[in-house]
Amino acid sequence: MSAPTPLQGIKVVEFTHMVMGPTVGHILAGLGAEIVRIEPIGGDRTRRLKGSGAGYFPMYNRGKSSICLDLKSADGIAVAKDLVAGADVLVENFRPGALDRLGLDYESCAEANERLIYCSEKGFLPGPYEQRTALDEVAQMMGGLAYMTGPPGKPLRAGASVIDVTGGMFGVIGILAALEERHRTGRGQKVTASLFETTIYLVGQHMAQYAVTGTPAAPMPARVSAWAIYDVFQTKDEPVFIGVVTDALWEKFCKLFGLDELWADESLRENNARVEARDRILPVIRELVATMTREEVIAKLDGSGLPFAPIGKPEDMFDDPHLAEGGLEDVTLDNGTQVRLPTIPLEMGGQRIGAPQELPKPGRDARSVLAGLGYDEDRIAALIGGGAVGESA
């Protein structure tokens, strides 16, 4: 069965790098849109990042076509403008003003294509910080997420590019809403999502907690949980997370693990009372769990309705039996290596989004993209020969 393609026929031009902007295009591509990714001559530098950035390009640029343009040349800009004139959506995430200086600002693009939805992924929405340069980590530090993640006095960024990715998701939401509105008005609009405000939305629960209680939220490692048992427990070998989040689950947990003495104590039947008695309850449970292997603990908990989780590492996910049922898709890297990477976590009409994908080499699709604009062979050859358009070897 072929994957759902609800955005089939939607044409997207993407001027992006790093994570936030490419995430928008990757999600739209997974939903069936046609993405033309504009890269500089020689390819986006994101392709060549090392260390923690080595996975950015293959994760967020699948399912796209690639054309390399010299946007400092008149011919390169002319091609870019022709692509925009025929597009439904433009996505960009460069510093404020970068596309404006090239004549690819929203007003100019909208004048040429009134149906265009222009999605800018920025560090900040309008305000005093608007011109600052922001990165995922900057936003996490500024917005309180790093404070909430690390132990007191030791702010710590989250272990993935959560703000870049979530900010990209908000961009997709804005694009989909703008497409729906265009059905009624016939006109596009500018959509802007941002790193800082995305962070604030994520920490909003802690802001609301302060508003309700008058007490600042403690960083997660120092928080008082809403439940008495909601923690990581060390087994004989590997740790496991266990949560007991209702009174009915407390009864089930006690019976599963033979905690007759704790269940017999009627003062512990209600959750808030158990929270008050955590210092008495937790040592008993930690001692019991430490006598078992992780697999023995999981065997008891699986199917019980109790929340639990082995502590997984990213590399473990390649062999996860659940993900093997559709959570990973085949990807051919630009060096020819075959890998499996996470697909878009959606199901539509009973079918998973995603399909086998190939990462394009820089400029791989130059000739087909230019032909799609109606350029003849002589003009295509002249653009490539003159260096305004790059073509992969």
Q: What is the mean pLDDT of residues 182-188?
A: 98
283 closest CA partner among 331, 234, 345: 234
CB 357 within 8 A of CB 329: yes
Per the prediction, the chain carries an average pLDDT of: 96
Q: What is the mean pLDDT of residues 257-262?
A: 96
pLDDT digits (tens, 9 = 90+) for 15-36: 999 999 999 999 999 999 999 9
In a domain, 208, yes or no: no
Question: What is the rounded distance in angstroms from the CA atom of residue 244 to the CA atom of residue 228?
Answer: 7
Query: Could you tell me if 47 and 139 lie in one domain?
Result: yes
Domain boundary among 291, 315, 339: 315
Domain boundary among 283, 315, 347: 315
In a domain, 212, yes or no: no
Question: What is the rounded distance in angstroms from the CA atom of residue 137 to the CA atom of residue 386?
Answer: 40
Residues paired with residue 232 on neighbouring β-strands, in sequence order: 241
Query: Could you tell me if 159 and 293 lie in one domain?
Result: no
In this structure, what CATH number is given to the domain that contains residue 142?
3.40.50.10540
Query: Could you tell me if 332 and 268 lie in one domain?
Result: no
Range with the poorest average pLDDT among 122-131, 177-186, 326-335:
326-335
What element of type H or E holds 298?
helix 294-301
Query: Could you tell me if 155 and 91 lie in one domain?
Result: yes
Query: Could you tell me if 119 and 169 lie in one domain?
Result: yes
Query: Could you tell me if 57 and 176 lie in one domain?
Result: yes
In a domain, 322, yes or no: no
Query: Could you tell me if 57 and 86 lie in one domain?
Result: yes
Number of independent structural domains in the chain: 2
**Residue 181 vs residues 34, 84, 105, 184, 376: alpha-carbon distances, Å:** 20, 20, 22, 5, 36
Query: Could you tell me if 20 and 164 lie in one domain?
Result: yes
Per-residue confidence band for 392, with pLDDT thresholds at 50, 70 and 90: confident
Per-residue confidence band for 253, with pLDDT thresholds at 50, 70 and 90: very high
Query: Could you tell me if 117 and 144 lie in one domain?
Result: yes
Question: What is the rounded distance in angstroms from the CA atom of residue 193 to the CA atom of residue 107?
Answer: 18
Query: Could you tell me if 110 and 27 lie in one domain?
Result: yes
CB atoms < 10 A from the CB of 61, how many? Answer: 26
In a domain, 3, yes or no: no
In this structure, what CATH number is given to the domain that contains residue 250?
3.30.1540.10
pLDDT digits (tens, 9 = 90+) for 64-117: 999 999 999 999 999 999 999 999 999 999 999 999 999 999 999 999 999 999
**Residue 142: pLDDT over 70:** yes
Per-residue confidence band for 1, with pLDDT thresholds at 50, 70 and 90: low
What element of type H or E holds 271?
helix 271-276
Query: Could you tell me if 142 and 242 lie in one domain?
Result: no
Predicted confidence at residue 393, as pLDDT, reads 61
Q: Is 50 left (phi over 0), alpha (psi -120 to 50) or beta?
A: beta
In a domain, 351, yes or no: yes
In a domain, 189, yes or no: yes
Q: What is the mean pLDDT of residues 183-198?
A: 98
Domain boundary among 315, 343, 366: 315
Give the range of the structural domain holding residue 235, as residue numbers without chain letter.
Answer: 225-315
Predicted confidence at residue 335, as pLDDT, reads 84
Question: What is the rounded distance in angstroms from the CA atom of residue 216 to the CA atom of residue 213?
Answer: 8
pLDDT digits (tens, 9 = 90+) for 206-218: 999 999 999 999 9
Query: Could you tell me if 292 and 377 lie in one domain?
Result: no
Predicted confidence at residue 103, as pLDDT, reads 97
Question: What is the rounded distance in angstroms from the CA atom of residue 34 to the CA atom of residue 69?
Answer: 18
In a domain, 173, yes or no: yes
Per-residue confidence band for 355, with pLDDT thresholds at 50, 70 and 90: confident
In a domain, 146, yes or no: yes
Per-residue confidence band for 345, with pLDDT thresholds at 50, 70 and 90: very high
Record the pTM. Answer: 0.94
